[in-house]
């Protein structure tokens, strides 16, 4: 294998590595489909995951401009004055009381009373900080963060703003990729060393322009994420692969304070399967888990209000699964909608959730005779 071939293979491997997003396991990435209003869900847990982070692959080429890395607020205020924190390495953790002095943020981790959870962007913590500056208590600030995150109107504004301020970034990446992987080798082979160096300088100037755009995003569009965006800008000056994926890397800050439900509802994708699953998890919390039940009670009214803006109710998603292909099944899990035979009474995947029977009318309609 020639040295040139080895160089190209290493460059492609580095580019593919940069074509991934490492996100907290609590996060969910939405990718807008080419047609219609629907979204495809990408879960960081489904690919390659570590203790706190999981990887989500992006489209290698061109710019994956339809992705939206979303995440729920890290804290939930319960009805009894306590708080729940969702951590990647385990279940929900109950915090009995919380004051502003108990909250801190460092190195992409939010710490509350000694318990840490990974965050996508400093914008999540900044949302709480702004509520504090307005004189709100921690409970009010956390509830307000959830209300804003679930709002379809706000999600639509956030998505539209991101498309407007970062549109040019989606063009820089493909030009840089074509220039480095195609333009430089062809210029060297057919034109010689000097034209290749001229093209290299031009591509570096485009990297500088990409870095300047990231710097501007941190200064004007998303000041709460200024530090992270400045670091990305610095890397884009010297690492071509980082500059090629600048759009996707910056998108984690744009949609960091938006819940996936809010963005899904903003486009009218009310029949999205992930949305139905999320609603059923709220309607049917895990048995024997007081933290899960408290989370459901806290989020249910906020989720109901978000669905009402699109003319939907929580009960619309508490549906009976179709057992046409399995007419011998007599019960289903109301949480995960798995179907079971008559000798099973609980769902083992949902911590022994009691099964619900299929209705007689449904069974009759599914009878092949």
Distance of CA 114 to the CA centre of its chain: 25
Compute the average pLDDT of residues 76-90. 88
Q: What is the pLDDT of residues 204-229, one digit of tens each?
A: 999 999 999 999 999 999 999 999 99
Model confidence at 45: pLDDT above 80: yes
196: closest CA among 210, 211, 179?
A: 179
Model confidence at 12: pLDDT above 50: yes
Contact yes or no for 166/217 (Cβ under 8 A): yes
Quote the CA–CA distance of 58 and 77 in Å, as a whole number.
Answer: 34
Q: What is the pLDDT of residues 144-192, one digit of tens each?
A: 999 999 999 999 999 999 999 998 999 999 999 999 988 998 999 999 9
Backbone φ, ψ for residue 361 (5° rounding): -65, -40
Quote the CA–CA distance of 306 and 330 in Å, as a whole number.
Answer: 34
Give CB contacts under 8 A, 24+ apart, made by 277-283: 277/336, 279/303, 279/307, 279/314, 279/317, 279/318, 280/317, 280/318, 280/334, 280/335, 280/336, 280/337, 281/335, 282/314, 283/314, 283/317, 283/318, 283/334
pTM for this model (two decimals): 0.92
Asked which of 241-250, 257-266, 274-283 is least confident by mean pLDDT, the reply is 241-250
Quote the CA–CA distance of 120 and 26 in Å, as a whole number.
Answer: 9
Per-residue confidence at 363, pLDDT binned at 50, 70, 90? very low
Contact yes or no for 210/246 (Cβ under 8 A): yes
Quote the CA–CA distance of 225 and 231 in Å, as a whole number.
Answer: 10
**Dihedral sign (CA 296, 301, 303, 307):** positive
Contact yes or no for 21/248 (Cβ under 8 A): yes
Compute the average pLDDT of residues 268-284. 97
Contact yes or no for 238/11 (Cβ under 8 A): no
Quote the CA–CA distance of 317 and 339 in Å, as a whole number.
Answer: 17
Quote the CA–CA distance of 63 and 278 in Å, as a whole number.
Answer: 29
Asked which of 2-16, 78-92, 125-139, 201-215 is least confident by mean pLDDT, the reply is 2-16
Alpha helices per DSSP H over the chain: 3-18, 122-133, 138-150, 152-165, 169-178, 184-190, 193-216, 226-238, 240-244, 246-254, 260-266, 273-283, 290-308, 360-366
The three-point CA angle 235-238-242 to 5° equals: 50
Contact yes or no for 319/276 (Cβ under 8 A): yes
Instruction: Give me the pLDDT at residue 304, please.
Output: 98
Model confidence at 360: pLDDT above 70: no
Q: What is the pLDDT of residues 304-314, one digit of tens each?
A: 999 999 999 99
Compute the average pLDDT of residues 74-100. 90
Question: Which residues have C-beta within 8 Å of that of residue 340, sequence separation ≥ 6?
Answer: 329, 330, 331, 332, 333, 347, 355
Q: What is the pLDDT of residues 119-130, one digit of tens each?
A: 989 999 999 999
Per-residue confidence at 47, pLDDT binned at 50, 70, 90? confident
Contact yes or no for 172/206 (Cβ under 8 A): yes
Instruction: Give me the pLDDT at residue 89, please.
Output: 63
């Amino acid at each position: 294998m020639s040295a040139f071939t080895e160089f190209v293979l290493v460059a492609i491997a580095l580019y593919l590595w940069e074509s991934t997003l490492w996100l907290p396991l609590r996060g969910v990435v939405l990718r807008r489909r080419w047609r219609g209003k629907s979204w495809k869900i990408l879960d960081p847990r489904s690919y390659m995951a570590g203790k706190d982070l999981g990887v989500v692959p992006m489209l290698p080429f061109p710019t994956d401009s339809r992705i939206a890395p979303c995440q729920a607020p890290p804290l939930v205020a319960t009805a009894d004055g306590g708080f729940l924190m969702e951590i990647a390495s385990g279940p929900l953790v109950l915090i009995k009381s919380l004051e502003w002095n108990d909250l801190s943020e460092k190195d992409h981790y939010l710490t509350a009373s000694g318990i840490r959870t990974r965050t996508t962007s400093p914008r999540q913590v900044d949302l709480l900080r702004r509520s504090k500056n307005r004189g709100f208590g921690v409970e009010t600030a956390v509830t307000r963060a959830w209300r804003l995150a679930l709002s379809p109107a706000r999600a639509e504004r956030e998505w539209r703003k991101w498309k407007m301020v970062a549109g040019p970034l989606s063009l820089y990446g493909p030009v840089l990729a074509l220039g480095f992987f195609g333009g430089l080798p062809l210029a060297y082979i057919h034109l010689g060393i000097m034209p290749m160096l001229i093209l290299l300088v031009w591509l570096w100037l485009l990297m500088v322009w990409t870095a300047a755009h990231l710097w501007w995003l941190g200064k004007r569009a998303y000041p709460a994420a200024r530090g992270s965006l400045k670091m990305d800008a610095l890397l884009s000056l010297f690492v071509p692969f980082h500059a090629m994926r600048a759009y996707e890397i910056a998108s984690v800050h744009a949609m960091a304070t938006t819940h996936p439900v809010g963005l899904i509802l903003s486009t009218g994708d009310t029949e999205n399967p992930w949305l139905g699953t999320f609603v059923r998890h709220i309607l049917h919390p895990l048995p024997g888990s007081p933290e899960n039940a408290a989370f459901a009670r806290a989020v249910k009214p906020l989720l109901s209000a978000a669905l009402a803006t699109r003319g939907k109710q929580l009960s619309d998603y508490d549906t009976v699964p179709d057992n046409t292909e399995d007419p011998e099944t007599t019960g289903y899990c109301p949480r995960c909608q798995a179907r079971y035979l008559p000798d099973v009474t609980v769902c083992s995947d949902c911590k022994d959730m009691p099964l619900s029977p299929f209705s007689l009318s449904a069974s009759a309609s599914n009878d092949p005779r």
